[in-house]
Structure 1
Amino acid sequence: MEVKSRALPSESCTGVANDVPIESSATAAKLAQQSSENHHVKSRALPSESCTGVANDVPIESSATAAKLAQQSSENHMNSKNGRNLFRFSERFTKKTKQTKKSKLRNDSNITGQSSVGDALKGVKSTVDNESLSGDEMGIVVSDHIGRGGARYDSKLSIGTGDQQTRSDDMGSGGPKSESLSGNIESLDWNKLMVEIRKVCFKYDSKGFIDKLNMSVPKSAIYGLLGPSGCGKTTLLRLILGLIKPKSGTIQINGKPPGSSANNIPGIGVGFMPQELALFQEITLNEALKYFSRLYGMSDELTLSRIKFLVDFLDLPDADRLIGTMSGGQKRRVSLSLSLVHNPPLLILDEPTVGTDPVLRERIWEHLVVLSRKESTTIIITTHYIEEARRAHVISLMREGRLLVEHSPQYLLNHFCVQNLEEVFLKMCDRNRSAIMPQNYYNTRSIDSSDNLVSNEKPKDKEMTDKMIQKTSVTSTKRVLTQTYKNGIRLMRNKPLLLFETILPTICIIIFCLCIGTKPYNIQIAVYNGEYDNFTTNGSQVTTLSTTFLRQVNNKTINLKHYSSNESAYNAVRYSGDTYGAIVFDKNFTSALFNRFVNQFKATDEDIDSSTIQFFGDFTDMIITETLTKALIDAELSFMRETMNTYLLINQDPLIKKQFRLYDPLVKFMDPPVYGSIDPNFRDFMAPGIIISVIYFMAVGLTALTLVVERKEGLLERSLVAGLKMHEILASQVLLQFFIVVLQATLLMIFTFLVFEVPNQGNIVYIILIVLLQGLGGMCFGLVISSVCKDENSAIMASLGSFYSYFLISGVIWPLEGMPPWLKTISYFTPQTLSIISLRNVMLKGWTIVYQNYI
């Protein structure tokens, strides 16, 4: 067997072997010598300027005998890496040959002068068919001629006809094993662009991020947008989707800017898979697909057919299974299915393979190839796994907001004479190299009428989808109801949250009624009585007046503890802290008080001092102090009436009887008062403020985190791309949460007025109206917080900060009259102050909504 092999010029291709020896064992050499007269292989060197590592002209003559001999010689090398690669290559080639055997093949035994290795391989295939070789023999024939050297070249070898192509680098380069689309950039219709971007600039915080970027994506193409994290890929996609606006430049999709009704982007014209999973964990796969199909206006019949197709196409789990219970790989496929449910003409995927295992990554790319070929879907995919984009028609490399180059993967590999795209990216990062490269393929190609090589006919399934969607109009009301229904399902599935939101206001009002407003009782008071327990007058037993006074003290409010000395009673208040005050009577209290009454203006200072009851109090607790003060004053009035009545019965003095009313208080509080009770309850004062505060801040809590969480998980962005408007999202949240507020208000009214019997003098309808309006205001304020805050922590802090501020200055726990004038003016601008005043007037005064011409 005669074998000739020439070396590649060393300067033509960095990283490629300069010599390509053909290995053979001694036995194989002897056997090959016997058939060398009929079979020989000539291998020519590659031109240095091609830098592809693949011969442009490889004459090959072969027969079944040569294949068998080569097969015997290859057995000694099957344990090596090259051997295993050759075996896999032969198996794949055999499979493709059987699939295309019925195709018309050229029978050309002499393939000398063919212009490409691809044509040479077709000649080999024709020879093999004529020789009636088996699959294994056929694989070895190819291996003998091109396999041993091809594994070391990153070439543009392709086998098969039509759309089915296989890269030779699959045999050992470590690249993906599925079918490649690289090298087909010329087959795209560059006269019809799906996405066209010209001189687009975008800035974050006055800092340039995307600078004069040009980009062209033809229809039915897989366009790989590659680059490291943070280079601007996601920002560019958001510009295409119309989620953000460029500072300058133009973006057109199907010849129209994003947001135009002509291209329905955002809307049914695009399918978007964000970088995050962006899945509703509480609903099933079936419910999620139906939710998005309703947003797109798809009919029920079409929705069911698409669900069945996607479940089979993407190998999805059971459609009735909750998304939250699926594995990470299943969730990735579910996220992809949500972007495909309406069969969009444009599919945008933001790093769909990030965090996935190689098997799942391979399956996702297989799905994308099928979509591009069979569904005529234009696909823009971003990834920072640069090497996986070899199967794209076109790739563009981004760095620091700039597009370095836009071309086919194979062209870039050949141009830079490297074996992987990562090396291409590194070379493109060199400004000297990138300066001589054409940035955009669209600007350098020759536009020709024959450029349209891809069929413009849509698949029937896609045409049917577009027609049925166009016949169905999706009104804003329908989208709001669809969003509300989805949110309701999520809330019903989250039973702990639903229970918490429903009963928490009730728990708050129960705790308030049990702990707030009840008068303090059993207050410990120390007593020292310096008088004898009794004394005798004219042989009669008379009780001392000090004892009479103590009997008038309300024993439910005050618990008297007697001490043996003045000092011990005082120390019980000062040091032990067991009592809130000490009552001390002088030893001459009764006689001094008698002299004080009899002598009146002639009473001595000693009589006045001895008849005075001393109280040493702990006045640190205002509520207890006021309670003790009122209890002792009431005891004094009762003591005076009883003492005077006893004195009149003993002396029967008419003059004193006439002067008895002189000892009445100067101010008399009329009973009943105009409003309220003569004995007011602090709970009655606070109840309206507590009701308003609980409803308001529970409503704030219902919505404050809604948009924050959805934005963080990518759900908000996915909904906006599906065609929802922000006001529709807000309206759906208010509609659902208002139902929760109604339920909260109902339970609140029941426990407030029926269980704890908080007094109400007004119309219950007015009370419910005020409470519901306050809840609606709380939801709106929560949505404002959710829109402004970027994360959960800031939203929670904003909610808590506003709660304490409003609670303190809105008159819930203290009258507005106790505030400084300037702060009182500010309090009227808070959302609770006027509502609390209104509810308090309705409940305690019985006022209507309109009172004295004031609303």
Structure 2
Amino acid sequence: MKIGVENSDVFVTSHRVSETNNNATASAVHGVIVRNAIKTYGVGSNRYPVLNELNMMVKKGTIYGLLGASGCGKTTLLSCLVGRRSLNSGELLVLGHEPGSANSGVPGPKVGYMPQELALYGNFTIKETLFFFGGIYNLKATFINSQCEFLSKLLDLPPCDRYVKTLSGGQQRRVSFAVALFHEPELLILDEPTVGVDPLLSHSIWNHLVRQSVDHGRTVIVTTHYIEEARQAHTIGLMRSGRLLVQDSPENLLNNFRAPSLEDVFLKLCIKDDAKNPFDSEHRLSSKNPGYKIPRLSVHRIGALIRKNYVLSFRNIGIFLFTYFLPALQASLFNVTLGHEPTGLRMAIVNDELDISQGRVCNYTTDCEYSMLSCRYLRYIKDNIIQVTGRKGQVWGVVHFGWNFSKEFEMRESDGDAAELANIIGSQIGINMDSSNQQIGVFIEKWLLEAFGDFVRDFRGACGNVPEAGLLPVTVAGVFITERKQGLLDRCMVAGVKMPEILLSYLINQFTVMVGQTALVYVSMLLVFNIPCQGNLAVAILITLLQGLVGISFGKLNLKYLKIIIGNYIFYIILGLLISTGCDNEMGALSLSQASFLPLLVISGICWPIEGMPLYLRKIAYIMPLTYAIESVRCIFSRGWGIEQSSVYAGVLVSFAWIFVFLALCLIVARVRKFAS
């Protein structure tokens, strides 16, 4: 390479491979080749370049120090090298292959990556951390143990049984560095590895990197803010505004620029770099549009992810137990709070038949006697209603008897259809309701009608008449009263983990927990609360496992029909994965989750029958994930229907359909965000 300074302009003649040269020949010499790399963020007029026609060559078996100010594009370039982002245009070869291509090993075991973020699980010990990534790389336990011992000495790590969250910032950075080193990759990419590390340990780290490159032929790319420490690198590349200003050995840079330090070299380059390169590369941006390829799933990577999920779950035993027993707790809470008849409802009784001065007082005879029938009727009202004399106090309504109620009732019984209007009015029981709470109003009305039916049947039986022939002279009037940030995902995916493997591991973990939750809920429902199941219980459990179980509420309504309400657990697991995939922070994911839960719950017919909704809303309700599953389990429990009925098997088919839809959306969103970032 030659570096010249002419007419106050800086130019670089780099180790570019001739267009006519074979890529295989170049790859045999270079570990990394970047040609005319363009990477932009944003769309339309808001688009700006992060990498601007960048060219870079990194020889195999060397250390390459990538230097530059924050925001110059170093981290974006490294993300492209490890396959986490894609270029808009340009060529990129790592270890002879395009990142992400078949047999490239990048992302995968051929690259060791240390991001700027800590990217470690705080609830893991140091040893568990290495074993987790060792499981992803399919390494043997003996090798992991030996590497743990070696790296502990090299990096002065605390005991391997220490939890990561209990370590200091510098110790955590060293553990992160050990994760990048321990599987002995061909390419090491280290983003600020010595931040927060004391000078003596930093010197030891650089010496180890030199040995790795010289003795083992490994390629190392290091970014650092400490420019002077990069003197130990074989080649230094100085970046500014998405371009590589120069790349050469530290000695050549110091000699050619006649500078005492690399910082002075960088300063001179920045002063002389006054060229403006307008970014107008519309014709290039469409050249990189990779098609979607179905990734190969790895059993050992999925196994490592599943073990990781279980360890993290059991580390916080309080949260785990709360999550595990929450459905059973919800089901029990629903049983003791929802679906039961209300009690302690106060009703005012205004009985004009009573007149102590005239000797008209309540009697409790059971004979056929037309006397004080108002008192006789009140005895049949359920104990759920508290009868209060007079109109004072807070009450849910008023029951009124006329002064001659018993006499008018007798006359109406004898006259039948020939009864006069005045007689009909006098024999009625006036009920004036507070209808501010419609459900309570419905219950009180039902109880008063049932009480009158019981009263008539008993009285007519005592008089030797047909009990069911009684009339119902009761009128009711209504009075209306006015709920990726630490870099862990990137690190796992650079290690070769695929998004489908992550989704599958979470689903397996959550499904095993859900099986236990479902068992607890059904035990409490069937054995503790004695909820009868008229149909095939196995089918109901199958639908419950598909939909998942957040809560079941059972109760008796007007005619004592059983009502079952099922929440959607698997659906919300997958919806949670979809939301997590599409959000950048916890607050956004939490807000979307809360915003989606209540509308889906209400519109699925759980809180109110779908038949009570407007016609246009009913069509939407029937395509919701919960609707058919709720109806299926309701038909099994209350009607005794089997899987052969369309209302039952529809719940199974719809549940499967929504699971596949949301899993597909997870993968699509993850891929779109990858190429848009």
Q: Normalising by structure 1, report the TM-score.
A: 0.62
Shift of 1:846: 1.1
Q: Answer whether contact 1:314 1:367 (CA < 8 A) is retained.
A: no
Which one has more relative contact order, counting CA pairs under 8 Å at least 6 apart? Answer: 2
Partner of 1:596: 412
Aligned partner (choices 334, 358, 377) of residue 218 of structure 2: 377
Aligned to 1:295: 136
- Compared CA separation, residues 746 and 522, structure 1 to 2 (3 A): same
Q: Is structure 2 residue 523 aligned with structure 1 residue 746? A: no
Counterpart CA distance in 2 for 1:242 and 1:360 is: 30
Of 95, 99, 103, 1:258 maps to 99
Task: Say whether residues 1:237 and 2:78 are aligned partners.
Answer: yes
Q: d(CA) in 2 for partners of 1:233 and 1:551?
A: 86
Tell me if 1:403 matches 2:210.
Answer: no
With over 3 angstroms needed to count, the CA separation of the structure-2 counterparts of 1:298 and 1:347, relative to structure 1, is: same
1:635 aligns with 2:429: no
Please tell me whether residue 199 in structure 1 is matched to residue 36 in structure 2: yes
**CA separation of 1:257/1:191 partners in 2, compared to 1, >3 Å: closer, same or farther?**
closer
Distance 1:826 1:407 in 2: 64
Secondary structure at the aligned position of 2:100 is classed as coil
Distance 1:738 1:294, change over 3 A: same
Q: CA deviation at 1:193?
A: 1.4
- Could you say which residue in structure 2 is the equivalent of 1:140? none
**Separation in structure 2 between the aligned mates of residue 613 and residue 496 of structure 1, nearest angstrom:** 58
Paired residue for 2:181, among 340, 347, 355?
A: 340
Assess, with a 3 A threshold, how the Cα gap between structure 1 residues 853 and 368 changes in structure 2: closer, same or farther.
closer
User: Partner of 1:663 in structure 2?
Assistant: 470
3-state SS in 2 of match to 1:256: coil
1:264-343 correspondence to structure 2 within 5 Å = 264-343=105-184
Q: Which of 367, 380, 389 lines up with 1:562 in the alignment? A: 389
- Is residue 37–residue 55 contact of structure 2 (8 Å, CA) maintained in 1? yes
Q: CA deviation at 1:333?
A: 1.0
One-letter amino acid matched to 2:403: K
Classify 1:542/1:198 alpha carbon distance in 2 versus 1 (closer, same or farther; 3 Å). closer
Aligned to 1:612: 428
Alignment of 1:23-422 (within 5 A): 192-206=29-43, 207=47, 208-358=49-199, 360-422=201-263
Aligned partners of 1:288 and 1:314: how far apart in 2? 16
5 Å-filtered alignment, 1:476-515, equals 476-515=298-337
Structure 1 distance, partners of 2:159, 2:599, is 50
Deviations 1:172-220 (A, max 9, x none): xxxxxxxxxxxxxxxxx99821111111111112422211110011122
Aligned to 1:814: 608
Q: d(CA) in 1 for partners of 2:104 and 2:445? A: 79
Q: Partner residue of 2:599?
A: 805
Select the residue among 392, 397, 419 that pairs with 1:581: 397
Aligned to 1:827: 621
Give distance in 2, aligned partners of 1:273 and 1:265. Answer: 14
Q: 1:350 to 1:610 in 2, by over 3 A?
A: same
Which of 838, 842, 845 in structure 1 is aligned with 2:636? 842
Distance 1:239 1:284, change over 3 A: same
Aligned pair in 2 of structure 1 residues 626, 737: CA closer, same or farther (>3 Å)?
same
Q: As a proportion of its length, which structure holds more strand?
A: 2
The CA deviation at 1:783 is: 1.7
Alignment map for 1:513-592 (pairs within 5 Å): 513-531=335-353, 532=355, 534-535=359-360, 543-554=371-382, 556-563=383-390, 569=391, 572=392, 576=393, 578-592=394-408
Name the amino acid aligned to 2:305: Q
In structure 1, runs of 5+ residues without a counterpart are: 1-188, 436-473, 564-568, 650-656, 667-696, 698-710
Give, in whole Å, the separation in 2 of the partners of 1:478 and 1:558. 65
Distance verdict in 2 for CA 1:853–1:294, change over 3 Å: closer
Q: Secondary structure at the match of 2:515?
A: helix
Stretch of structure 1 that moved more, 382-391 or 824-833: 382-391
Cα offset for 1:427? 2.1
Match status 1:732 vs 2:505: yes
Change (3 A) 1:766 1:240: same
Q: Cα offset for 1:603?
A: 4.1
Contact 1:224 1:389 in 2 (8 A): yes
| Native 8 Å contact 2:31 2:60 kept in 1 | yes
Cα drift, residue 781 of structure 1: 2.4
Q: Deviations over 1:721-755 (max 9, x none)?
A: 11222211211111111111111111111112211
Other structure's SS at 2:322 match: helix
Provide the C-alpha distance between the structure 2 equivalents of 1:607 and 1:190, rounded to a whole number of angstroms.
Answer: 108
Alignment check: 8 A CA contact 2:370 2:410 kept: no
Q: How does 1:742-781 map to 2 (within 5 A)?
A: 742-775=515-548, 776-781=570-575
1:769 aligned partner, one-letter code: L
1:426-437 aligned at under 5 Å gives the runs 426-431=267-272
Distance 2:417 2:624 in 1: 57
User: Shift of the alpha carbon at 1:535?
Assistant: 4.7
**Deviation at residue 330 of structure 1 after TM alignment:** 1.4
TM-superposed deviation, 1:405: 1.3
Map Cα deviations across residues 480-526 of structure 1 (whole Å, 9 max, x no partner): 11221122122222212211210111111111101001101221111
Equivalent position SS for 1:552: coil
Larger Rg: 1
Q: Secondary structure at the match of 1:724?
A: coil
- Is 1:719 matched up with 2:492? yes
Map 1:433-444 → 2, pairs under 5 A: none
Is the CA contact (8 Å cut-off) linking 1:292 and 1:341 kept in structure 2?
no
Q: Which residue of 2 aligns with 1:177?
A: none
C-alpha distance in structure 1 between counterparts of 2:402 and 2:428, whole Å: 8
Please give the secondary structure, in 2, of the residue aligned with 1:561. Answer: strand
Write the deviation string for residues 304-351 of structure 1: whole angstroms up to 9, x where unpaired: 322222222222221222222222111111111111111112110012
* Letter aligned with residue 255 of structure 1: G
- When residues 764 and 265 of structure 1 are mapped into structure 2, their CA distance, relative to the original with a 3 A threshold, is same
- Name the SS of the counterpart of 1:835 in structure 2: helix
Distance change in 2, residues 1:821/1:355 (3 Å)? farther
SS in 1 for 2:491: helix
How has the CA–CA distance of structure 1 residues 810 and 397 changed in structure 2, closer, same or farther, with 3 Å as cutoff?
same
Task: Give the 3-state SS of the residue equivalent to 1:429 in structure 2.
Answer: helix
User: CA, structure 1 residues 257+553, in 2 after alignment: closer, same or farther (shift >3 Å)?
Assistant: closer
CA contact (8 A) 1:535 1:541 kept: no
C-alpha contact 2:40 2:51 (8 A) present in aligned 1: yes
Q: Which runs of 5+ in 2 are unaligned?
A: 1-25, 277-295, 474-482, 549-569, 650-677
Name the CA distance, whole Å, in 1 between partners of 2:596 and 2:81: 38
Quick one: structure 1 residues 299 and 585, their matched pair in 2 at CA, closer, same or farther if it must change by over 3 Å?
Answer: closer
CA contact 2:297–2:500 (8 Å) conserved in 1? no
8 Å CA contact 2:64–2:236 kept in 1: the answer is yes
Find the residue that maps to 2:545 and give its secondary structure: helix
Partner Cα distance (2:189, 2:599) in 1: 46
CA distance in structure 1 between the aligned counterparts of 2:33 and 2:642, rounded to whole angstroms: 64
